[in-house]
Amino acid sequence: MSPLRWLSVCCFVVCGWCAGDSFHQQAQAHLEALHKTLDLLETLHQQISFRRSDLNLLCRKLIQDGQLPPETVSLQTLEPFPSLTLEERTRFSECFSGLGRLEAEQECRRLELYQAQFQAALQEGEAAARTQSMLSHKLGLAAGLAAAILLG
């Protein structure tokens, strides 16, 4: 096989590998955003159920602890993490825009519901990421081998 053919085969393999790696990075960013959301919901749940915290004071504390971005005005106007899906961003906005309208016990039950929904999304995302990250790398290698056969 000529050097040019070897070069093209290597290019196919490298491109497939890079595509798989790109997907893997996007999946990891999505999972990280889900983890951050769940951590934030857990903190809110604890603060509301145990201490019955004022939401404005809690927001300032979360900003100081680095759990929220410094430009956050209030928990009700908190923007969803950008790597969440459209459905998850909508759910995030619904959850946080409704904070502070109920009694502490009702608020805790509401937060538990959203925690369960985000936990389910996290489990689905982890399963899909495991399956597809390996699959995309294998498809890249298969494309390179197919190109080698066609060019050979």
User: Using one digit for the tens of pLDDT, what is the confidence trace for 66-98?
Assistant: 888 888 888 888 888 888 889 999 998 888 888
The structure tokens listed for 130 are: 């495991």
> Which residues does 58 contact at the CB level (< 8 Å), separation at least 6?
44, 47, 75
Q: With respect to residue 147, please indicate whether it lies within any of the assigned structural domains.
A: no
Q: With respect to residue 50, please indicate whether it lies within any of the assigned structural domains.
A: yes
Q: Which of 38-42, 43-47, 100-104, 141-145 has the highest mean pLDDT?
A: 38-42
Answer positive or negative: Cα dihedral of 38, 39, 40, 41. positive
Total domains in the chain come to 1
Q: DSSP letter string over 39-100?
A: HHHHHHHHIIIII---HHHHHHHHHHTTSS-TT---GGGPPPPTTS-HHHHHHHHHHHHTTT
Report the C-alpha dihedral over residues 78, 63, 126, 99, rounded to 10 degrees: -40
Q: With respect to residue 31, please indicate whether it lies within any of the assigned structural domains.
A: no
pLDDT in tens, 97-124: 888 777 777 888 888 999 999 999 999 9
Q: With respect to residue 19, please indicate whether it lies within any of the assigned structural domains.
A: no
Q: Which domain holds residue 50?
A: 37-128
Q: With respect to residue 117, please indicate whether it lies within any of the assigned structural domains.
A: yes
